[in-house]
Chain A
């Protein structure tokens, strides 16, 4: 009897020791995973930044690319093109995306009540958005090339590019906005409606402000996407290194410039320099998301 207890106790002890060992191994494993992942990202970023910083100076930033295989010149016009492209694309995609999300979350349920066919259409739209979010950007590029550049004769232009870009980020904006709207508690909506506020008043004054951090995140992610995408703009924006004067002019975004410098010129250092600027932009953008979301959350909680 007694010896049995002792055996059971020692068995317990060895079990405990084993559990502790597994726990330690697990800890080391996830720590290593985290370390490797972060180190890899840091390595790539610091390599590009260190390589790139050497060519970045006043002249690099404020002169336009000279063109040709030497890759001489700076990046001024590509920075401006990128800004134009981002502003145009976001200006088109954001209202449309948020509007679609509001419809899907706030109104679609009620409309589907009316007829089976409408419910089917709405379900199809929802699935469509999900599929589009996973389609490679070059597919949107080809679509834009066929429709805007060729068929509608917009040519290689800011207009073609931003329309295609808007189509590319629209699913992202719709989905993040949808998620953001769904996180707003139903009790807020009920509280507002029970006071006799209209549906729209409720959405505008209670639902949207509370969904704003999520919506802003989606929009800023889209800005990042537009800055980073290359292939889609290669077939819609063209690649002119001159300053686009109207939306019908061709241009060259920073990412496109990196690609062209690296693949068609000898100026690999300038490609690195441009890439460094790209990375810095993305970092600033991410900091901006954090600040904006935090600002909105604080204002909401603080009441002012």
Chain B
């Protein structure tokens, strides 16, 4: 596999995230490939979610958090981008499905409406397209105006994916999107992610090693230092990280010796 033929969606240089004085993430350098699935693995507290939240500047919302270093998206420093524009193109899926207590339709239409789309026909079209993309359309098409809280957890998570897709992002950040779901719902999400890869860059944090191994193209392994700060141990194509890790630590983690 040649590393230079593909465009990089993100370039990360010397990224550090602090909670107050505590350095939660230190000195991360990485290039994230466009139209590929990159997974972040590592033990709890290793900073992988914090890292993920740096890509759409979600950490800005947490008081006392400071981010240093550089993240470039399509060769532009995300600090210089308008926060609304950044988050419009970088969607995020959370650990627990978080549909708004509104109807299914209003959930999907929320983003487009926030960006000024008012036409009913146009919204209906976006809602259908997004739900089809998230492979949820057939399950909910007859109850679009019923509460989004009435569908199952797995459906809710796909609804959240549809909601993110409705604003047409080119990146989807997923923070353990299947950790609250049963195995069948998890499988559906994984299949969906494979389909979405055609058009999107996907970055996924996961606790589930098998998931990372079978679903991602690249894997980054994070670990926690003695001072509890997270750092990047190893990053590379998933196949080589899992079958032929460069670092002893990675091998120990993957083979289940700690974590």
Interface residues of A (CB under 8 A from B): 109-110, 112-113, 185, 187-198, 201, 205-206, 210, 300-304
Contacts and interface: CB of A to CB of B under 8 A. Distances in A.
B149 A301 contact: yes
Contacts of B166: 195
Interface in B47-82: 56, 58, 61, 63-64
A188 B100 contact: yes
Contacts of B100: 188, 191-192, 206
Given A110-B63, A112-B63, A303-B148, A196 B98 contact: no
A193 B63 contact: no
B153 interface: no
Interface of B: 56, 58, 61, 63-64, 84-89, 91-92, 94, 96, 98-104, 106, 110-111, 114-115, 145-149, 160, 163-164, 166-167
A109 B64 CA distance: 9
Going nearest first, the 3 A-B pairs with the smallest beta carbon separation are: A303-B103, A196-B88, A187-B98
Contacts of A303: 101-104, 106, 145-148
A210 B160 CA distance: 19
Interface of chain A, main secondary structure? helix
Contact of A195 (B85, B99, B110): B110
B120 to A, nearest CB: 16
A197 B147 contact: no
B61 A195 contact: no
A195 B58 contact: no
A206 B85 CA distance: 20
Nearest to B91: A194
Contacts of B84: 196-198
B101 A195 contact: no
Contacts of A302: 146-147
Contacts of B167: 195-196
Most central of B86, B100, B103 by chain A CB within 10 Å: B100
A198 B64 CA distance: 21
B58 A193 contact: yes
Contacts of A188: 98, 100
